[in-house]
Structure 1
Amino acid sequence: MDSREQQVRALYQQLLDAWNNQDARGMADLYIEDGEQIGFDGSQVIGQAEIYAHIAPIFEHHATARFVSKVKSVRFLSPDIAVLRAIAGMVPRGQSDINPNVNTHHTLIATWTGGEWRIVLFQNTPAQFHGRPELVEQMSAELRELL
């Protein structure tokens, strides 16, 4: 794994750490100025200020579950653009197991700008596999190995 891939993986981990620590400012600051976030519920927010304004009330009013994730791939579209794909599960606060109902695919597009990797787009897509419960269990088992 080269240093660029390590840096992109680290950026993704910073994003998850900010979520897990309920740090809305820390999350928003990882994006480029007009970066985009598409949430689990399909909500789309554009720009650091909007991302912060969208996430901060969630953290203020909810004990959000923490992410557990596994990076599946990092692909470079150019030396300055990377696509990271991961699977993730969520462990509700005070519990020790993931909730399979909220398993998700994460897609992160990052760009090298100003001497650092920043998020252009982060999308959090539900992995419910309608009508295929064996796929939900397969993903859940893979994520439970990380706990």
Structure 2
Amino acid sequence: MEQSVEALRAIPARMCAAWDRGDATGFYADFAEDAELVEFEGSILRGRAALVAANQQVFDTVMKGSRLVRGVVPFARVVAPGFGVVHHRAGILLPGETEPLSSRYVMQLLAAVWQHGRWEVVTLQNARVVSFEAMTVLDDLAAAA
């Protein structure tokens, strides 16, 4: 395998397939042993084992049976030899739904390094895709609390 953009772009598709199976080990299979995850609310998890444990609990409870849909990779690039980034967007579809709520669209920025003969994700930052209108409503709720 080579340090190609195509190999970087393929990582989110494997992550989505694992999510759809409820498989946290598969979801983080392309992650380095010392990978870090920054969640949308700001919490930070460190180490692939911690990521797998936390997400398997989520897959087994609140996200059980959910799927990632409408996944796109707006960009992926090799920034320098041995270092690449991937931007991924998807919607979270819960069981019984035909379309994800607009509040359940996420975007992710993955930073990957070339090691052990493949791209390994070292950092993933999750963020919710939120409209300005929704942000205003959230601000009003926070101000009233």
Question: TM-score, structure 2 length as denominator?
Answer: 0.80
Q: Secondary structure at the match of 2:22?
A: coil
Give the drift of 1:131: 2.3
Q: Distance in 2 between matches of 1:84 and 1:11?
A: 9
Q: Distance in 2 between matches of 1:132 and 1:98?
A: 16
Question: TM-score, structure 1 length as denominator?
Answer: 0.79
Give the drift of 1:126: 0.8
Give the drift of 1:27: 2.1
For structure 1, the residue ranges without an aligned partner over 5 or more in a row are 134-147
Quote the RMSD (CA, aligned, Å).
2.1
Misfit runs of 4+, over 6 Å: none
Give the drift of 1:54: 0.8
Report the counterpart of residue 39 of structure 1 in structure 2. Answer: 39
Q: Secondary structure at the match of 2:95?
A: coil
Does the Cα contact within 8 Å between 1:11 and 1:118 map onto a contact in 2?
A: no
Give the drift of 1:132: 6.8
Does the Cα contact within 8 Å between 2:35 and 2:48 map onto a contact in 1?
A: yes
Q: How many pairs are equivalent? A: 132
Report the counterpart of residue 143 of structure 2 in structure 1. Answer: none
Q: Distance in 1 between matches of 2:3 and 2:112?
A: 14
For structure 2, the residue ranges without an aligned partner over 5 or more in a row are 136-145
Report the counterpart of residue 59 of structure 1 in structure 2. Answer: 59
Report the counterpart of residue 14 of structure 1 in structure 2. Answer: 14
Q: Distance in 2 between matches of 1:55 and 1:10?
A: 21
